[in-house]
Amino acid sequence: MLMLLSTCLMLSSSSCDRERDESLDDKLTLEKIDYNGNELRIDGYYYMKDPKRPQISVLILYQNGIILYGSAFDIDNTIEMEEQYKDGSIHAAKYKYNWGVFQINDNQIKYERWVPSNGPFSAFTYEGIILNDTTFVINKYFRAKDADKKAPSEVLREYHFKQFFHKPDSTNRFIL
């Protein structure tokens, strides 16, 4: 009886909640380089209002060239979101698909991050135009490894800056 119980326990634990094999995820193609320019402010976060829902999506740019996609938050919960950033409990920072890298050249911004899926995560590149030091527009995106095979998809996402001194740390285990 003990042997049967042990076997059942072993089989059930091996089939539940398996770790993802991150080695199958796309590699990021953009190089992580420090941002020392003044085209965009980095002493806060950028947000985009979702035209279909009462939510904002948040992007945080760091001087070390890393970007954190802070997921979507209800517009009414912006204060709660900022409190999570202040105390370091931001949920998004735990997940690989919220991290990426960015580069700025003149008035162009480009960033790349993983996008979650049921299988391996795909790396997507987002490109846009900087309008001023507090606003940029993403106008196209594409899967990084298909960049030379397919035309990019057009999208219009306008991000606006909000000064905020309590950004979460950019240290993560996904981008070194």
Output the pTM of the full model. Answer: 0.79
Whether the CB-CB separation of 96 and 117 falls below 8 Å is answered with no
Number of domains in the chain: 1
Residue 52 has pLDDT above 70, yes or no: yes
Torsion sign, CA atoms 164, 169, 172, 176 = positive
Confidence of residue 87 (pLDDT cuts 50, 70, 90): low
Q: What is the pLDDT of residue 116?
A: 84
Block residue for tokens 């998004």: 92
**108 in any annotated domain:** yes
Residue 158 has pLDDT above 50, yes or no: yes
**17 in any annotated domain:** no
Decide: helix, strand or coil at residue 2.
Answer: helix
Of 165 and 71, the one with more pLDDT: 165
> Quick one: three-class SS letters along 24-68?
HCCCCCCCCCCCCCCCCCCCEEEEEECCCCCEEEEEEECCCCEEE
**15 in any annotated domain:** no
Residue 67 has pLDDT above 60, yes or no: yes
**11 in any annotated domain:** no
**6 in any annotated domain:** no
**133 in any annotated domain:** yes
Which domain does 55 fall in, by range?
A: 25-163
**CA 156 to CA 24: how far, in whole Å?**
30
**63 in any annotated domain:** yes
Per-residue pLDDT of 106-157, as tens digits, reads 999 999 999 888 889 999 999 999 999 999 999 998 888 876 666 677 778 8
**93 in any annotated domain:** yes
